[in-house]
Amino acid sequence: MSSVVETPALPRFQPGDYKSDLKPVWCAGCGDFGVVSAMYRAMAELQLEPWNTVVVSGIGCSSRLPGYVEAYGFNSVHGRALPIATGIKVAKPELNVVAVGGDGDGLAIGGNHFLHASRRNLDICYVLMDNEIYGLTKGQAAPTTPSGDKTKSTYFGNPEPSVDPCELAISFGATWVARGFSGDMKSLVDLMVAGMSHHGFAFLNVMSPCVTWRGDDQFKVMKAKLRSLPEGYDRTNRAAAVPYLREKEVLTTGVLYEAHEPSLLDRLEGQRTNAMVGHENLTTEQVLEVFKPPF
């Protein structure tokens, strides 16, 4: 009999193992390349089993991401990544669920779902690729497009104020909120690892330039604005995050807020465990008893 000796030093999954053989459709230089690479590394760091992991998205350039990850994936419809992810996670809590998408997808058409997934403290990690524009539909204004910017749909300049996704997430009740930059790979991987490990709704806003509709400089401009949170920053203090929201001149990355609260699944599981007591192996017969005249 021969036996195979495994080399214990090597982890089972390497970043490359999470790369599917589908070639990305993204433009050369698109920030989303950085996001997907960071995801491969973060998944490898966490040793996520691909077959127990689902990456869900809506529609947009960024929402193509699940196709590039070797795991289960669901590229759904515009704005609806979170409802689908909610169903997957609640129905099968043992799966690792990551939702991804663009700013239009998550904040405009899907904004309501963002509010409620955060509020529920659903146990998933949501990565929003923020390019301050609608990429796929070729350059219209998004909720994150700075006021005054000329886009395809705002010929005379964007007449609307923009929002800060992190500010929304914190106020909606997300329990882990961070900002990252797709051009800062090392920090981004760390943020993803932390977000995916967080117990509860983790929101990661990744500034991810669209070279095609925001110009080649978006990358450079963002890089120049990059700052880190100061030493000793208290991320458990909601109020501490305020100075880092709605930033214009700088771009601060890092974990802005973190809290430890029961997730939706914890609450559901508690109820379910209690509810099942005395109803083990419930049959239709037994349920039908409810409809019998009780006297």
Partner 1 sequence: MPTRDLTLAMVGSGGDGVVTMGEMMAQAGARDGLNVIKVEAYGPQIRGGESSCVLRMSAEPISAQGDAVDVLVVFNWADFTRFKGEVVPKADAVILYEASDPTPLAEVKIPTATNATWIPVPFVDIATKATGTKAAKNIVTLGILAELFAIPQESVRKAVEFKFGKKKAAVLEANLKGFAAGREFAGTLSVDTSARKLEYVIRDPKLVMTGNEACAVAALHAGCRFFAGYPITPSSEVLHFLSEWLPRAGGRIIQTEDELSALGAIIGGSFAGVKSMTSTSGPGLSLMAEMLGLAAMAEVPTVIVDVQRGGPSTGLPTKSEQSDLYLAVFGSHGDMPRIVLAPTDVEDCFHATVDAFNIAEETQLPVIVLSDQAIGQSRQTVEKANLVHEVVDRRTPNAEELADYKRYAQTPTGVSPMSVPGTKGGMYQTNGLEHDETARPASSHVMHEKMSRKRFKKLDFVEEKYPLFVHLGPEKADIGIVCWGSSKGPVEEALKELAAKGVSVSAFVPRIIMPFPKKALLEYMASVKTLVFLEVNFVGQLYHYLRTLVDLPADTRVFARSGGMNLSVTEVKNRIESVLSETTVREEVRA
Binding site for partner 1 (CB under 8 A): 20, 22, 50-56, 59, 64, 66-67, 69-77, 80, 82-92, 94-95, 112-113, 115-116, 120, 264, 268, 271-272, 275-276, 279, 282, 284, 287-288, 291-295
Q: Which of partner 1, ligand SF4, ligand TPP, none does residue 294 bind (CB under 5 to 8 Å by kind)?
A: partner 1
Rounded CA-CA distance 240/243 in Å is 7
142 binds ligand TPP (CB under 6 A): yes
Q: Residue 101's beta-bridge partner residues? A: 128
Rounded CA-CA distance 65/55 in Å is 8
Rounded CA-CA distance 247/229 in Å is 13
| Minimum distance from residue 136 beta carbon to ligand SF4 (Å) | 6
| Minimum distance from residue 30 beta carbon to ligand SF4 (Å) | 3
| Minimum distance from residue 291 beta carbon to ligand SF4 (Å) | 56
59 binds ligand TPP (CB under 6 A): yes
Give the residue at shortest CB distance from ligand TPP.
102
Identify the CA nearest to 235 among candidates 266, 212, 217, 260: 260
Q: State which H helix or E strand residue 73 sits in.
A: strand 72-75
Spell out the residues 6+ positions from residue 71 whose beta carbon is closer than 8 angstroms to its own: 18, 43, 48, 50, 51, 53, 54, 55
132 binds ligand TPP (CB under 6 A): no
Q: 163, 146 in Cβ contact below 8 A?
A: no
Q: Which of partner 1, ligand SF4, ligand TPP, none does residue 1 bind (CB under 5 to 8 Å by kind)?
A: none
Out of 31, 34, 66, 135, the residue judged to bind ligand TPP by CB under 6 A: 135
String of contacts with ligand TPP for each residue 188-227, x by CB under 6 A: ----------------------------------------
Per rule CB under 6 A, count of chain residues that contact ligand TPP: 17
